[in-house]
Amino acid sequence: NAGVTQTPKFRVLKTGQSMTLLCAQDMNHEYMYWYRQDPGMGLRLIHYSVGEGTTAKGEVPDGYNVSRLKKQNFLLGLESAAPSQTSVYFCASRGLEIADTQYFGPGTRLTVL
Amino acid sequence: AQSVAQPEDQVNVAEGNPLTVKCTYSVSGNPYLFWYVQYPNRGLQFLLKYITGDNLVKGSYGFEAEFNKSQTSFHLKKPSALVSDSALYFCAVRDGDTGGFKTIFGAGTRLFVKA
C-alpha cells in the first residue's frame, strides 16, 4: 500500500515550458487535491476533485489546469511555466466522509528559471 | 469563506517544558479542525482532529488540542516538549455547512525545541 505518490520529485523548467505533475493514490479515495507550499504562505489550494471526471478551482487556480480521468490519478498541468510558479507542490487525497483524514504525497519541488 | 490564522511564525521552547501552538479559524458553519506536522523535505502527517464532542482532543506523539468555540480557536499543546518535536505545524479547517469539500490550511508555525 503505497498511499499517495507523486512524480517527479524534482523538476527544473525554463519560463514558457510546459509540464504535468502526476499524483496517484491506492486508497480508493474519492477526493483529491493539489496544493502549493511557499515560505510564509502555508499550503494554498490550487484545484481539487470530488470524483472521477470532476474538478474544481481552489484558492490559486490561475496558470494551472487539472484532470481526473481515472479515480486513482490526479494530474496538474502547467501550460506555460512562470517563475512565480516556483514552489513545492503537494497532492493529497481523502475519503467521502467530511471528517476523513487527508493523506499527503511527498511533494514535487519545481523551479522555473 | 473559511480561513485559518496561525499568529506565530515560530515558537521556541526548552525541552521538557510545555508547548502551545496557536490557531484560530473562521467558518460559516460547523468547523472540522485538523493539525498536521511536516518534517524537513517530507509531506504533511496527520496529528489529530476535532469533529464533535469533547473539546480536548488527543492525538499522535503525545499532542493534544483544545477546541474553544467562543474564541474560535484550536490550539495545539503538549505537556513536555522533545527536541524531536521540532518541525513545521499546520492547522486546517473544513466547513461542515458547505459540504466540507475543501480543506484550508494556515501559514504554518515552526516549532523549535532547544535541548
pLDDT score of B52 more than 90: no
Q: Answer left, alpha or beta for residue A90, where phi above 0 means left and psi between -120 and 50 means alpha.
A: beta
Average pLDDT rounded to a whole number, residues B61-77? 96
Tell me which residues of chain A have a pLDDT lower than 70.
1
Q: Closest chain A residue to B2 measured between Cα atoms?
A: A59
In the prediction, which pLDDT does A16 show? 97
Over chain B, what is the mean pLDDT? 93
Q: Closest chain A residue to B97 measured between Cα atoms?
A: A98
Q: Which of A42, A58, A105 sits opposite B102 (nearest CB)?
A: A58
